[in-house]
Amino acid sequence: MTKLPTPFNSALETGVRSLFILEASFPSSFDVQRLIEFDYLVVHSGDADGPDSLHTPLPLRAGELLVRRELINRGLLLMMSRGLVERLTTRAGIEYRATEKAAPYLASLATPYALRLHELARWAVERFGHEPTEVIRIITQQFFERWSSQFQSLLPPREAR
C-alpha cells in the first residue's frame, strides 16, 4: 500500500505559509534563512510570547529548525511555478517576494486554518519584521537550546565504568 504524504510540512503547506509571510511583508523580500525563522515563529508563535501557536506545541519541536530549509525551498518553488512568488537577485543574495497575484489567491483561502495563518503571519512581520535576521536567529536559537536540554534530560544516565 502506498503511503500518501501528509499535508503537514508538505511543499504545499510550507509554500502557503511562506506566501502568507511574504504577502504580509510586501513589497519587502526575504532570503530563505529569514523565511525559515519566520516560518518557525508563525507556527510556534506561543514560543515567542505571541498569540497561541498555529500548531500544537509538541515536545522537542525546536528540532524542526533543522529540517525547514529543504521544505521551504520546495514550497517556494511550488509558489513560483504558480506565479505567486518571484525570486530576486539582490546585493545581499537571492531573495523572494510575493507577486501581486498573492493577495487575491490568499484572500480566496477561507478556512479557519488559513485565516489563523494570515493573522499569525501579520503578527510575526509586525513584531519581528524590523529586526535583522541575525537577531531573529538568536531568538529561535534559544528555542533550539531549550529543545537540546529537553532531549538530554530524556537520555538515560551513563552507567559507571
pLDDT confidence band for 145 (50 / 70 / 90)? low
Comparison of pLDDT for 71 and 8, the residue scoring more = 71
Residue 6 confidence (pLDDT) = 43
SS3 letters for the chain?
CCCCCCCCCCHHHHHHHHHHHHHHCCCCCECHHHHHHHHHHHHCHHHHCCCCCCCCCCCCHHHHHHCHHHHHHHHHHHHHHCCCEEEEEECCEEEEEECCCHHHHHHCCCCHHHHHHHHHHHHHHHHHCCCCHHHHHHHHHHHHHHHHHHHHHHCCCCCCC
pLDDT tens profile 73-120: 999 999 999 999 999 999 989 999 999 999 999 999 999 989 999 999
pLDDT tens profile 11-33: 899 999 999 999 999 999 999 99
pLDDT at 65 > cutoff 80: no
Determine the average pLDDT of the residues in 130-141.
85
Predicted TM-score (pTM) of this structure = 0.80
Buried b (16+ CB within 10 A) or exposed e, 5-42: eeeebebebbbbbbbbbbbbbeeebbebbbbbbbbbbb
pLDDT tens profile 30-40: 999 999 989 98
Q: How far is CA 157 from CA 130, 149, 153, in A?
A: 44, 14, 9
Comparison of pLDDT for 100 and 140, the residue scoring more = 100
Q: Where do the domains of the chain lie?
A: 11-150
pLDDT at 150 > cutoff 60: no
pLDDT confidence band for 123 (50 / 70 / 90)? very high
